[in-house]
């Protein structure tokens, strides 16, 4: 099933049955935020939410961030979602393992 059309200016309430999957380069942790829960705190556009998100450890912006149809993409051996959209790409870190100096 292909993902529906998505735009960062869509409101959270337009996507209540989906989940944001967040990762931060500072940690191997994965955080899942149900969009419905975020909308209950204020129905904002995705663009505003992504701008405000911060890692609780380093206070940096999480990346990558995916909007997924389901509870998780590949975490903990769960079923794969129908689709996932990358909203924030993974950073290209020069110190990452295997990266050119």
Per-residue pLDDT, averaged over 40-67, amounts to: 94
Distances, alpha carbon 88 to alpha carbons 18, 29, 79, 100, in Å: 16, 16, 23, 22
18-53 pLDDT per residue, tens: 999 999 989 888 899 999 999 999 999 999 999 999
State the pTM of this model: 0.77
Domain limits of the chain? 12-88
Compute the distance between CA of residue 65 and CA of residue 16 in angstroms, rounded to an integer: 17
ω into 64 cis (within 30 of 0): yes
């Amino acid at each position: 099933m292909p993902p529906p059309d998505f735009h960062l200016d869509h409101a959270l309430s337009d996507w209540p049955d989906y989940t944001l999957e967040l990762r931060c380069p500072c940690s191997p942790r994965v955080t899942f935020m149900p969009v419905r829960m975020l909308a209950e705190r204020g129905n904002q556009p995705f663009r505003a939410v992504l701008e405000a998100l911060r890692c609780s450890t380093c206070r940096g912006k999480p990346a990558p961030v995916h909007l997924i149809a389901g509870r998780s993409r590949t975490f903990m051996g769960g079923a794969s979602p129908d689709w996932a959209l990358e909203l924030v790409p993974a950073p290209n870190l020069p110190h990452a393992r295997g990266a050119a100096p």
